[in-house]
Amino acid sequence: MSKNLFASLVLGAAAASANIIGGYVVSYQKQLDRFLLRLFIATGAGFLLAATFVAVLPKSLALNPQTPLILLGGYLFMQFFQHTVAPHFHFGEETHHEPYEQAHVGYAAVLGMTLHAFFDGALIAAGFAISAKLGIVLFVAVLLHKIPEGFTAASIMRAAGKSRRTSRFSAELIAAATFMGVISVSLVAAAVRYALPFSAGVTLYVAASDLIPEVNREGRAWVSGVVFLGALFYFVTDLLLNSLI
């Protein structure tokens, strides 16, 4: 097993575990630390945007001239599954109970999250297929929103009136999808040409259309300010990795 493949499996499993942690927080802690979740969502948004624009897009264009089209495809794919198939979805804690009186609304939202999580994993593995540095940067980028993601999935199930067990299961499902994404791209080397731009499109959607609206919904300047810190954090991580690897 190559060193990069090993690293992508280990870090992919770590990112998946963060989904499970997020799901368990909903189950076990009534008064969870909302402040920390907001911080993760805002930092994650800034970091993901910076990593996608600065690190992924140039590499992706060099790898595949079809990148712009595939990127658009990844973005619209998420619009379709998270908001066309699923009539009610937003990132962060689910507190609206009414939309979930019909059980399928909750399941559709979790299905959309499962698909997106698959591409979180695919992005990490595609990064490692190119270089250890890109793999680590994308791991950090993805990891930052993984706890809020598991939390979102579990709280959707709670809002739909499901048991704690079912709500934890929805977070575990997303974790499993993440790891499946890592394995799929790790094992099929030729997939990287498509996996990198497509996952980048999905990631842009997650950052700009899932996480940023959640930041803005808060309506507080400091939460929005954290997005800039998240972007800055990307450049710091990049500098650190340059001196280490």
Give 93 or 226: the residue with its C-beta nearer to Zn ion: 93
Among 190, 133, 117, smallest CA distance to 8 is for: 133
Rule CB under 5 A: say whether 96 interacts with Zn ion: yes
Which listed range, 11-19, 26-34, 94-102, 216-224, lies at the site for Zn ion (CB under 5 A)? Answer: 94-102
What separation in angstroms does the CA of 154 have from each of 3, 101, 221?
Answer: 34, 16, 28
Smallest distance from the beta carbon of 49 to Zn ion, in angstroms? 14
Choose the binding region for Zn ion from 18-26, 100-108, 148-156, 160-168 (rule: CB under 5 A): 148-156
Amino acid (one-letter) located at 50: A
Taking the chain, what is the end-to-end CA distance rounded to the nearest angstrom?
20
Residue nearest to Zn ion (CB): 96
CB atoms within 10 A of CB 29: 9
Closest CA to 64 of 204, 196, 200: 196
Q: How far apart are CA 91 and CA 88, in angstroms?
A: 10
Q: Which is nearer to Zn ion, 91 or 233 (CB)?
A: 91
Rounded Cα distance between 150 and 141, Å, is 16
Q: Is 93 in the site for Zn ion (CB under 5 A)?
A: no
How many residues bind Zn ion (CB under 5 A)? The answer is 4
The tally of CA atoms less than 13 A away on the side-chain side of residue 76 is 6
CB of 100 to Zn ion, least distance (A): 8
Give the torsion sign (CA, 59, 62, 64, 66): positive
Stretch that binds Zn ion, among 4-12, 55-63, 67-75, 142-150 (CB under 5 A): 142-150
- Strands of 43-118 (E only): list them: none
Nearer to Zn ion, 88 or 190 (CB): 88
> Which range touches Zn ion (CB under 5 A), out of 59-67, 95-103, 122-130, 182-190?
95-103
Which of 120, 121, 124, 134 touches Zn ion (CB under 5 A)?
A: 120
34 binds Zn ion (CB under 5 A): no
The count of other CB atoms within 10 Å of the CB of residue 239 is 10
Closest approach of Cβ 109 to Zn ion, in Å? 9
Nearest approach in angstroms of CB 110 to Zn ion is 13
- Residue number, 60 or 214, with CB nearest to Zn ion: 214
Q: How many CB atoms lie within 10 A of CB 193?
A: 17
- Stretch near Zn ion under the rule CB under 5 A, chosen from 38-46, 55-63, 90-98, 218-226: 90-98
Q: Which residues bind Zn ion (CB under 5 A)?
A: 94, 96, 120, 149
